[in-house]
Amino acid sequence: MLKQISTSFKLILILFLINTIFIVAGFSMSSNSEAALSKGEKIFKANCVGCHLNGQNLIRADKPIIGSSKLQSKQAFKKFLESPTKPMPKFENITSMDARFNSLYNYVITLMGK
């Protein structure tokens, strides 16, 4: 039966299959990114949202997360979380675990676009 299928049709079928593989791989990578952001959002809600609802600062309105220079790099953010200005507590429980810290940082960065 394959001998009866034209070369053009075989080529179209191969291209379709290759394209499908790339689409599925793209969706897979996207869902991994979404999962990491979801973890970051959970960490944010458990530790930060009480004072930083919607990326703002309920204690010091003039110091919101959105636009903060402490988010210019992961290193600056980590340093701040380990030694913040009062009344903010330290968050070494987050910074001591790379996966948790990276998830939180990546989520907080998304707040910048809101």
First-last CA distance in the chain: 57
What are the domain boundaries of the chain?
38-111
Q: How many CB atoms lie within 10 A of CB 86?
A: 5
At residue 10, the pLDDT reads 60
Question: What is the chain's pLDDT, residue by residue, as a tens digit (114 residues)?
Answer: 556 666 655 656 564 555 545 454 444 444 557 776 799 999 999 999 999 998 999 999 999 999 999 999 999 999 999 999 999 999 999 999 999 999 999 999 998 875
| Length of the chain (residues) | 114
Assign 52 to helix, strand or coil.
coil
- Per CATH, the number for 38-111 is 1.10.760.10
CA 23 – CA 34 distance, rounded (Å)? 16
Measured in whole angstroms, how far is the alpha carbon of residue 50 from the centre of its chain? 20
pTM for this prediction: 0.68
Distances (CA, A) of 18 to 9, 21, 23, 48, 90: 14, 5, 9, 44, 49
Tokens at 45, concatenated: 């809600």
